[in-house]
Chains A and B, each alone.
Chain A
């Protein structure tokens, strides 16, 4: 066997693989636990010692999406037979379905606010970053530092003033209010990240487009944006993850119409505090969009930028 400087030996590879597997197990464990809990019965979910093997049930998911009332055994027997699988699951608990829960609405609120603020942040962030990168902006360095400084204190430190401001402006518990807030928080990071990416794009591409008869705006759309796609995608993921998971402001500023899923999920536990499977189901579903979004954009994150056409 020949010796190579760059290729690891089989033993190194084996150790590296083991380390990665261990790390993955440790990080994924809580996630797997939540997903598993979503399919347990309430009794199994609080069993001690914890049950690794259990009879899976959709009870948690049914409870997540419904509100139920408990009725007497005798009345339950007099009802016509349950005609759907979820009716049957509910009746097994001695309850009947009273109506849908609010989880669907709250989830949609999260989608609207999360993706809305991310989109707004990308539009404003790309425009600002482009200007900072390409034009002579008066006091450029000071402005950039000023923008970054908004990121220096934890956003929640300004919760009270924001709360008062929102109340006076009538933005409390509105979608637009939350979108604006999350955009404001994310914008500083976006401008900085995106400026870095746009700085990397040689200005000659735009100049070539200008000479080829395009306006600056056309050059921006047709030449800069495709080149910046990688940067925009990764920045968007950062913004979405923040807006999606944000809890403190959501608790403070939303209670009904615009409430997002994070403050809602803990309330699912219900009276008596034993419906852990429903909470776990809510958390599991909540994980899906960010995961899908990240996987969809993964191609952009991994794809090397084709700077090959300009030799530096």
Chain B
């Protein structure tokens, strides 16, 4: 098993720049998520780690060895494709055995390894079946089997659950995570589903337009987004943004929005001009006595909670409140924000301002 280090990696397709100078490190044994919207360069980044695509510039280290320009066959990693890519002319057993044949492993040993992997994945009874007729879940397991049978340095998975239906995804994601915990193998997992990333990952890299926006543990990324993009992409509903104009010095602990004072974590850098006040819906509290006012324009019932949308002087705000509270559209109420959880962004760059709150978790790409 191995550590994977990406340093200043860039990829151009002709004139199009798909990945811009990315740097991050995947520690040995980590379950690492590459998260971002469609077209942001996740697959390209993963394929460069695998050797299916060569970086235009930059370095990729696997276990300290620079492999950036090496062909895939020499990197000793396994790749699980979104569509599984099981060899259609081979049965399940031969699909799993195929990576071992390339190493010239003796037949008996191959047999033993395939049986062992099949047992781990619970597919011993379908080893002789052709792959054509398998269910999505079984294909997924066969694809995993083909990946783990070789005991590679790392597993790279490109949206491996993307082809499964919602219900089964849930089940398979638990199975995958359990398998990882059992084997402790370094795993890089590409997804565009932020919930999946938060649930499964030890660490997350968030990408957008070929840029690494943030890299860290899920909790830090959720609580202290490094950019406005991350704040919006992660969380459902996303963070609320209130635009304001201000001049904030270093050490500032409160800001004024539409005449109301709000406490914020002490700033470690000064800023002025167009700024954004960011607060997560669960940190917005409805309080009739609060001076910052809003009018309820919609409520969405979600079972135990409800999402209430309010129109406020600086823009719409969503909040998550218990569903037993009777709130009707048209009501007017005051809003309070949890002071310790506020993030301020520069409107121009979208970057979060350094504060006492995010100082620990913030790491830009």
Contact = CB atoms under 8 A, between A and B. Distances in A.
A308 B99 contact: no
Interface stretch (B20-28, B69-77, B271-279, B356-364): B69-77
B64 interface: no
Contacts of B52: 207, 210-211
Interface in B8-40: none
B132 interface: yes
Given A202-B83, A210-B73, A309 B50 contact: no
A310 B73 contact: no
Interface stretch (A14-22, A59-67, A212-220, A232-240): A212-220
B197 to A, nearest CB: 23
A256 interface: no
A11 interface: no
Given A202-B85, A309-B84, A212 B99 contact: yes
Interface string A192-208: 00000000001011011
B88 A308 contact: yes
B85 A227 contact: no
A213 B83 CA distance: 20
A307 B89 CA distance: 10
Interface residues of chain A: helix, strand, loop or mixed (majority): helix
Given A210-B52, A214-B73, A227-B89, A306 B130 contact: yes
Interface in B77-102: 77-79, 81, 83-89, 98-99, 102
B42 interface: no
Given A211-B77, A212-B146, A309 B71 contact: no
Interface string B162-200: 010000000000000000000000000000000000000
B259 interface: no
A72 interface: no
Contacts of A210: 51-52, 71-73
A226 interface: yes
B139 interface: yes
B98 A212 contact: yes
B81 A309 contact: no
Contact of A211 (B73, B83, B139): B73
A211 B150 CA distance: 11
A208 B73 contact: no
B50 A211 contact: yes
B131 interface: yes
Contacts of A309: 84-88, 131-132, 134, 139
Contacts of B150: 212-213
Interface string A254-277: 000000000000000000000000
- Among A204, A223, A226: residue with most chain B CB under 10 A: A204
A303 to B, nearest CB: 11
Contacts of B139: 309
A211 B51 CA distance: 8
Contacts of B103: 213
B83 A308 contact: no
Given A213-B73, A214-B73, A310 B99 contact: no
B133 interface: yes
Contacts of B78: 211
Given A208-B81, A210-B73, A306 B102 contact: no
Most chain B C-beta atoms within 10 Å of own C-beta, residue among A208, A209, A227: A208
B72 A205 contact: no
Contacts of A202: 83, 85
B117 to A, nearest CB: 14
Interface residues of B, number: 31
Contact of B87 (A205, A305, A312): A205
Nearest to B133: A308
A204 B71 contact: no
A194 B98 CA distance: 26
Contacts of A307: 88
B79 A211 contact: yes
A219 to B, nearest CB: 9
Contact of B88 (A212, A215, A227): A227
B140 to A, nearest CB: 11
Contacts of B84: 309-311
Contact of B72 (A211, A305, A312): A211
Contacts of A205: 85, 87-88
Interface string A29-68: 0000000000000000000000000000000000000000
A308 B73 contact: no
Contacts of A208: 79, 81, 85, 87, 146
B163 A311 contact: yes
Nearest to A312: B83
A207 B81 contact: yes
B248 to A, nearest CB: 51
A227 B72 CA distance: 22
A312 to B, nearest CB: 7
A230 B130 CA distance: 18
Interface string A283-312: 000000000000000000000011111111
A93 to B, nearest CB: 57
A309 B99 CA distance: 18
Interface string A58-85: 0000000000000000000000000000
B83 to A, nearest CB: 5
Nearest to B163: A311
A209 B88 CA distance: 13
Nearest to B71: A210
A212 B89 contact: no
Which 10 interchain pairs have the tightest Cβ spacing?
A: A204-B85, A213-B102, A212-B99, A308-B132, A306-B88, A309-B88, A309-B86, A210-B72, A226-B89, A208-B85
Interface of B: 50-52, 71-73, 77-79, 81, 83-89, 98-99, 102-103, 130-134, 136, 139, 146, 150, 163
12 contacts: A204-B85, A207-B52, A210-B72, A212-B102, A213-B73, A214-B73, A227-B89, A309-B86, A309-B132, A310-B84, A311-B84, A312-B83
